[in-house]
Structure 1
Amino acid sequence: MTLRSRVRTLVDAAYERVLRREVGDGPDHVAIIQDGNRRYARRRGGDAPDGHRAGADTTERVLDWCADLGVEEATLYAFSTENFDRPPEELEPLFDLLEAKLREFADADRVHEQGVCIRALGDADRLPERVREAVAYAEERTADYDGFTLNIALAYGGRNELLGAVRAVARDVADGDLAVDDVGVAEVESRLYRRPVRDVDLIIRTGGDERTSNFLPWHANGNEAAAYFCSPYWPEFSKVDFLRSIRTYEAREESWRRARAKRAAALVRSLAAVEFDEARAVAARLRERLPVETSGAELDEALAEGRSTD
């Protein structure tokens, strides 16, 4: 290792420690678009399968980082419906890798020690039989665990998922099994692909593109998930990059909580100027819905201002 490399390693380690002190509990559910494997391979003079294999190593490291930070669920965009359009010479090695990694994860000691439940999301029937068998093997071996949930999105497309749910609802309405007035969130969710256990809090995309590419639109966009885009290709994604994404999520959440608290205080202030007792009742309800340290003080201040003008 050259002197420059040693210095860079020391700087990165120090920065990682700084970031680790800056972040708190972090999100419950992180979803990752692992982009850039092929570009990474081409830049190094290799083929696409070389990049996918390097990316698989990064995936294992990220799962360790999730465990270290207390993340409870992760969803990996391993294979999209659009990926079926790739040439056979790229698809077959990728299917081989997916099969091998699913079985490897299912047999790994740390998976069983940490209680990792492996689940597949997507239209699995479109996958080769050997991959479907590996999915079934991994799910069966880890079905009873609840320490950490690992969702692997395979043959997944968010638009297709929503279309399938809408068509299923429409059929049930047409058949008289479901009333139009009963169509709600629960009815749609029950007809999606197998669902994540939790809504998505943070989407990470590597490789430089700033888009979410049809990934978990119901569970991420519907939950107003934070998004973090970074330039490193997936095989180059580091713990520093991961911690930066957590910091971005926490900054966004803090900003959102402050905005909600300010809006709540403005509502109470407006009501208190007209009807103090009603404002006090609304403030009590808002305290239950806004678990923010500053919201209580802001609501009390708004009530006090309203009383003084009464």
Structure 2
Amino acid sequence: MRGWFRRRFDAAYERVLRHELSGAPTHVAVIQDGNRRYARERGDDPSAGHRAGAETTERVLDWCAELGVEELTLYAFSTENFERPPEERDRLFDLLETKLREFADADRVHDQGVCIRAIGETHQLPERVRDAVDYAERRTAGYTGFTLNVALAYGGRAELLGAARDVARAVDAGDLAPEDVDVPEIESRLHDDPVRDVDLIVRTGGDERTSNFLPWHANGNEAAVFFCAPYWPAFSKVDFLRAIRTYESREASWQRAKAERALALVRAFGSVEVREARAVLARLREYVPDGADVEVDPDGETRAD
């Protein structure tokens, strides 16, 4: 009876959340935490938790397609994971190898045009996992419908350090002038293929930290962050919709703040000519949220409707 009521409640809550949402973030990044704790609470070994987590990953791919998310990055194996016991690590490598090949051959991956890419220090992985990565990337290389980034042997500091060293070598060799080191130059050295800025980070398992995950693409973009208690295998569609709602709320607040700053800058001009004030507004209009109407009246005062 309790299970039936829970399912009815979740279905009703899902409808409410869907009604509240007006869109979706372009790029969602997920820290899939809690697989081992999920297994331990059920008396299973860690590999059972990782397998259950892989099933959640497949569901999340469907939810992203349904909601219009264009890019998903999964923190599948961090550099710290190399410190786990060898037996657990090998089982996780086996699962990664299997799932990469399964995803690469799945009909829905090809039907939806999913491009699978690995990011991270993949040369540190066992050969069988590297072969599976190569297979998945080759099988889906031509697709543009959706991008699935799998972070393997990944660490954010190592990523930035590698880009910095690459730039330093290029400058030292005379191939790059110091004044030409800019944002696009750094981004081009982070990954072989471009990764969109992250709009939303989701972390399951109860911990409230982002664990060195995509610092350039998330922190630099001031990504919204959603922490939730369920372990990754128990992460539900309702949890995902709540994460999207957090992103939308944060985005609306951010847009309001930018509009207020824009108006404050214009008002700071005081008694400047109306024509000059209008010129400033034209340059600042990109910071005003959609639907907001900002004008300068004949007396030089600004107003927002």
Establish whether TM, by shorter chain, passes 0.5.
Answer: yes
- Does structure 2 retain, via aligned residues, the 8 Å contact 1:51–1:235? yes
**Structure 1 position 191, deviation (Å):** 1.5
**Structure 1 position 305, deviation (Å):** 7.9
- Does structure 2 retain, via aligned residues, the 8 Å contact 1:272–1:279? no
Match of 2:155 among 149, 154, 157: 157
Kindly provide the CA deviation profile for residues 109-158 of structure 1, in whole angstroms up to 9, marking residues without a partner as x.
Answer: 00010000001101111001111111111111111110100000001111
Is 1:11 the counterpart of 2:4? The answer is no
- The 1:205–1:308 alpha-carbon spacing in structure 2 relative to 1, beyond 3 Å, is closer
CA distance in 1, matches of 2:194, 2:70: 11
**Structure 1 position 276, deviation (Å):** 1.9
For 2:124, the equivalent position in structure 1 comes to 126
- Does structure 1 retain, via aligned residues, the 8 Å contact 2:75–2:151? yes
**Structure 1 position 308, deviation (Å):** 5.7
Is 1:108 the counterpart of 2:103? The answer is no
Extract unaligned runs of 5+ from structure 1: none
**Structure 1 position 285, deviation (Å):** 2.0
For 1:87, the equivalent position in structure 2 comes to 85
Question: 4+ residue stretches of structure 1 with deviation over 6 A?
Answer: none
Match of 1:307 among 260, 285, 300: 300
For 2:211, the equivalent position in structure 1 comes to 213
**Structure 1 position 21, deviation (Å):** 0.8
Would you tell me which structure has more helix in proportion to its own residues?
Answer: 1
Q: Which stretch has the larger CA shift, 191-200 or 18-27?
A: 191-200
CA distance in 1, matches of 2:256, 2:200: 19
Identity level (%): 71
Matches within 5 A, 1:98-247: 98-247=96-245
Please tell me the residue identity of whatever aligns with 2:287: L
Kindly provide the CA deviation profile for residues 57-103 of structure 1, in whole angstroms up to 9, marking residues without a partner as x.
Answer: 00000000000100000000000111011111101110000000000
Q: How many aligned residue pairs are there?
A: 302
CA distance in 1, matches of 2:194, 2:232: 23
For 2:43, the equivalent position in structure 1 comes to 45
CA distance in 2, matches of 1:38, 1:126: 23
Is 1:293 the counterpart of 2:290? The answer is yes
Superposition RMSD in Å: 1.5
Please tell me the residue identity of whatever aligns with 1:126: Q
